[in-house]
Amino acid sequence: MKLYEIIYVSTMAPATPVTAVPVILSRARQFNQANNITGMLVFDGLRFAELLEGPPDAVLELTERIREDSRHTNMEVVHHASVAERRFTRFSMGYVPIEEDDALAQLEQCEGPAAMQRFLDLIPVLDLGY
């Protein structure tokens, strides 16, 4: 099966309460599972970074829908590529809250494979059950 992956970084909108995050996650898990999309959402209290992977059309359509979501702004895709296999087979949408203030700001400055590496560096490998 053809697969596509993207990573974007965005900033939570000022009017969005932090309590929106579990609401977003529960909607994401439901939709993504139904549409064969997997991935990981990282949140630092201000910025989001999300990796989405799955069938190309589904990933691109979802990316554009997320872009329209007024709960965040400044969405920037930092990596997109066709891939042979998924990275996160166990998650319709995993979630990693992080404490570092500037890790996602730095990720936003990266592109392509460097952005992917930086994103993966944020994920605590032990929690993934490998």
Closer residue to ligand FMN (CB): 47 or 118: 47
Cα–Cα distance, 89 to 61 (Å, whole number): 20
Q: Does 47 bind ligand FMN (CB under 6 A)?
A: no
- CA distances (Å), origin 43, targets 52, 62, 77, 113, 122: 15, 19, 16, 21, 10
Measured distance CA(14)–CA(51) in Å, rounded = 23
Smallest distance, ligand FMN to C-beta of residue 102, A: 19
The verdict on 72 binding ligand FMN (CB under 6 A) reads yes
User: What is the binding site for ligand FMN (CB under 6 A)?
Assistant: 10, 24, 27-28, 31-32, 41, 48, 50, 52, 62, 65-66, 69, 71-72, 93
